[in-house]
Amino acid sequence: MWKDFKKFITKGNVIDLAVAVVIGAAFGAVVNGFVNDIIMPVIGYLISGVNFADLKIVLAAAVTEGEKVTPEVAIMYGHWLQVILQFLIIAFFVFLMVRSIAKMQKKKEEAPKPAAKPDDVVLLEEIRDLLKNK
């Protein structure tokens, strides 16, 4: 069983997938930081100093009864807008990657192929091969 597992885990596809997951997680963290710390504050400043993370619709206010505190119930649509923006940025970069890979594959396919041999040459080679086999 250990041999089979070692063979499975060292296959190129598994290693490539693991690398892709790690890089994807790191890229997601970079995009989250970029959106939360750079883009959203600028957008908030441009629209009168609004902090998008604080945008919400309060359904029920927080209630304090003695030492018991019931937290507010709210729809956090500002946070949702940030998540949508993060998704759009990630989707755009994935689109650019897929597009560039497709262009590279297209260039590979367009590489000149060797010229086809004339029919008489092919026929003579077949005759030669038949004579060799006899």
Residues of the chain with pLDDT under 70: 12, 111
pLDDT tens string 34-51: 888 888 888 888 888 777
How much is the pLDDT for 116?
A: 82
Helix (H, G, I), strand (E, B) or coil at 132: helix
User: Rounded CA gap, 116 and 128, in Å?
Assistant: 19
How much is the pLDDT for 74?
A: 92
Q: What is the DSSP letter of 114?
A: P
How much is the pLDDT for 111?
A: 67
User: Rounded CA gap, 80 and 67, in Å?
Assistant: 32
How much is the pLDDT for 134?
A: 77
Global pTM reads 0.57
